[in-house]
Structure 1
Amino acid sequence: MSGAGGPDAAAGVADTSPAPGLEARVRADRGEFSLDMTLSVPAGETVALMGPSGAGKSTLLGVLAGLTGFDEGEVRLRGRVLDRRTSDGSATRRTPPAHRGVVLLGQDPRLFPHLSAHDNVAFGLRVHGATKTAAAAGAADWLRRVGLAGLGARRPAQLSGGQQQRVALARALATTPAALLLDEPLTSLDTETAGDVRALLHQQLAATRTTAVVATHDAVDAVALASRLVVLEGGRVTQTGPVREVLASPATRFAAAVAGLNRVVGTFEPADSTWRAGDLVLPHGGARQHPSLVAVFRPSAVRVIDGSPRAAGEWTARIVRLEQTPAGVRIRTADPDVAVDVAADRAAGLTPGDTITLRVDPADVRLVGP
């Protein structure tokens, strides 16, 4: 008969399984839209949640925070059941938002306008039971940690948008939440300020080992803040995995757009060992000869050339639209759907409906399974 610790404990084998963090299995019906997904965030880790508008990101965060109802499923935090609903919709467990240990921070910092930055942070601590003296000291310490030492006496109206978001972050983290939910927190900030706040978030989430979910449209947020990425589309998870892996091999058109890649579905032709999508033909001599393969390549790897196609990787395409980019112009084409990044002068004279010849070096294309 084994000892109380079990055979592994007797042999001195450590338990390396991740500590329970935030776990959810949720189905929420909203008329024609339905959110049906599972999420697991180990304790101390940050997961990025990405998806197009209307995918269900905010609905999920609302469920996790206890602000939004759902029809079936369960939400757990550190092994404790926060909410549970059976298949008939009846709630067998319901924890109010104030008692969950979860903080939701969105685009709006939601600071009290009549309180100073210091008092806004201290208020959060007082609500969680800190004495007046301890709350004052904690607020001062957190304002220093977020780079606002000396600005504690200012009210929100006297602070910039980035400074207000820093105060909101200080207030959130000062209460040592079991989980922090971030709903597009940087969207309303200018690029430089967003970069500063993003760096601060990365630093403080790592320092405090806070379990966090970051809903965002920006791949930079995922890369800078998260270890894992969950792609949510139409209320369903379409891809999940380490951030680098998901961005390198996007499984959907949306994920490819986020990663800044073209994703073209084609077929393998065994007769001549080629991959084809419309008029685009690429050699494929590898071992992976799945009948349906996906070509992944960067828009900057495609060039507009003169004349007709003459070699593998050259094809004609119809321009669908032109989009301005910081570096020039992005040409969108059809049959297949491909984005091409060119300098502005190279796009001069081109209009939607024109037919152009394109070239991509086969060496710049990765062919992966669907």
Structure 2
Amino acid sequence: MTGAALDARVVVERAAFRLDAALHAEPGEVVAVMGPSGAGKSTLLGVLAGLVDLGEGYVRLGERELDRAPRPRLRTTPSQRGIVLLGQEPRLFPHLTAHENIAFGRRVHGATKPVAAAEADEWLWRVGLAGMGARRPSQLSGGQQQRVALARALATSPSALLLDEPLTSLDAETAADVRALLHDQLTATRTTAIVATHDAVDAVSLATSLVVLEEGRVTQSGPVRDVLATPATRFAAAVAGLNRVVGSVHSGRWTQGPLALDAGDAASDRLDGSEVAAVFQPSSVEVAGVPGETWTAALRLAPEPRRGEWLARVTRLEQTPAGVRVRTAEPEIAVDMPAGRAAELGLAPGMPVRLRLAASAVQLVAVPGPRS
């Protein structure tokens, strides 16, 4: 099977929220949609699935126009769209076995009972549940239920598959297994898919394109690697695991508050006089102690910082798999370091520190102008 191209411009108006987003996926392409909670991801997928009314715009799937608004209005019912939505909950029929759940989807789409049964057996094998078809959902783990739900969805040969954070309710190890299964099956079936997620691992491992949705608007889109390498917003930078600090370039020097860096000739020529974001890894920043235990004492006793150095105040410390992430203010950045180094410095919220950042570790990215 091969999915159809999906093209949409979606506008939904609510009391305190407006979604206005464009989305495009080539046949067989997987597009990830990322955004903070409340950005409109689920609403967008709901419109594509036919569960949420379109206020303005259109939804096209292959050669078919499924929705159009406001006039002349067109709306295709969810069952006639050729689109399947799979969410966080598998929503399996509790009274049916895993095999019967999968076969049900094929029967609804016109397959005979023997054909549906044979294809359900095939899909149980494809999702790693061979021999478990007689079990009901209550006898399956969360990950196994999600595998059955995926098999039921793909068995119907949808023109497009919508995945609304399907791994959120799973533990890390199970989510990794189901993610690998998703990748294998979406690749094998060449199903067009839209994956709404909070997790950059989902975008990297499943998708070729990434759409960043914030406050109902698309703030960045493009190939996954490009969006994560040059994030256009603080949210996108956080997803990519990068710091993004907006400053300005003047005469070969980038500045933001107390932080100043050499911009370099090329950057200076291209970006001089404009807002520019400095993008860098948390591990690129060095932390050193300063004289004085209070902010006032540090300002009075610390020597004048050199280019690429500045004084900052620790706001909080977070545990990471590799050690400690130190959050600082003015400007707000994250610094990664081994836990032993954080203990050696005696870091704690409110403590002043000296930060160092080499210009060679920074990528300067022009800040896009406001959207009309």
**TM-score of the pair, normalised by structure 1:** 0.91
Q: 1:201 is matched with which residue? A: 182
CA distance in 2, matches of 1:132, 1:187: 34
Q: Taking structure 1 as reference, are residues 287 and 28 closer, same or farther at Cα in structure 2, changes over 3 Å only?
A: same
CA distance in 2, matches of 1:169, 1:313: 50
- Deviation of 1:175 (Å): 0.4
Alignment of 1:318 onto 2:313:
yes
Aligned partner of 1:198: which letter? Answer: R
| Count of residue pairs brought into register by the alignment | 347
Alignment of 1:341 onto 2:325:
no
Q: 1:118 is matched with which residue? A: 99
CA distance in 1, matches of 2:265, 2:197: 37
The unaligned stretches of length 5 or more in structure 1 are 1-18
User: Could you say what the CA RMSD is over the residues aligned between the two structures, in angstroms?
Assistant: 1.4
- CA contact under 8 A between 2:67 and 2:75: conserved in structure 1? yes
- Equivalent of 1:34 in 6, 18, 32: 18
CA distance in 1, matches of 2:72, 2:155: 32
Q: 1:362 is matched with which residue? A: 359
Aligned partner of 2:354: which letter? Answer: T
- CA contact under 8 A between 2:98 and 2:135: conserved in structure 1? yes
Q: 2:255 is matched with which residue? A: 276
- Deviation of 1:328 (Å): 2.0
- Deviation of 1:339 (Å): 0.5
- Runs of 4+ aligned residues of structure 1 deviating over 3 Å after TM superposition are 306-311
- CA contact under 8 A between 2:4 and 2:160: conserved in structure 1? no
Q: 1:51 is matched with which residue? A: 35
What CA deviation, in whole Å up to 9, does each residue of 1:281-313 have, x standing for no partner? 111223232122111111111121234565322
- Deviation of 1:77 (Å): 0.5
- Deviation of 1:91 (Å): 6.0
What CA deviation, in whole Å up to 9, does each residue of 1:203-250 have, x standing for no partner? 111111101000000000000000000000000000000000000000
- CA contact under 8 A between 2:92 and 2:137: conserved in structure 1? yes
Aligned partner of 1:305: which letter? Answer: A
Q: 1:4 is matched with which residue? A: none
Alignment of structure 1 residues 162-201 onto 2, 5 Å: 162-201=143-182
The unaligned stretches of length 5 or more in structure 2 are 291-301, 368-372
CA distance in 2, matches of 1:237, 1:32: 18
- Deviation of 1:20 (Å): 6.0
- Equivalent of 2:129 in 106, 126, 148: 148
**TM-score of the pair, normalised by structure 2:** 0.91
Q: 1:128 is matched with which residue? A: 109
CA distance in 1, matches of 2:278, 2:74: 47
What CA deviation, in whole Å up to 9, does each residue of 1:38-92 have, x standing for no partner? 1111111000000000000000000000011121111111120111112xxx562
Identical-residue share of aligned pairs (%): 66
- CA contact under 8 A between 2:162 and 2:194: conserved in structure 1? yes
- Deviation of 1:190 (Å): 0.9
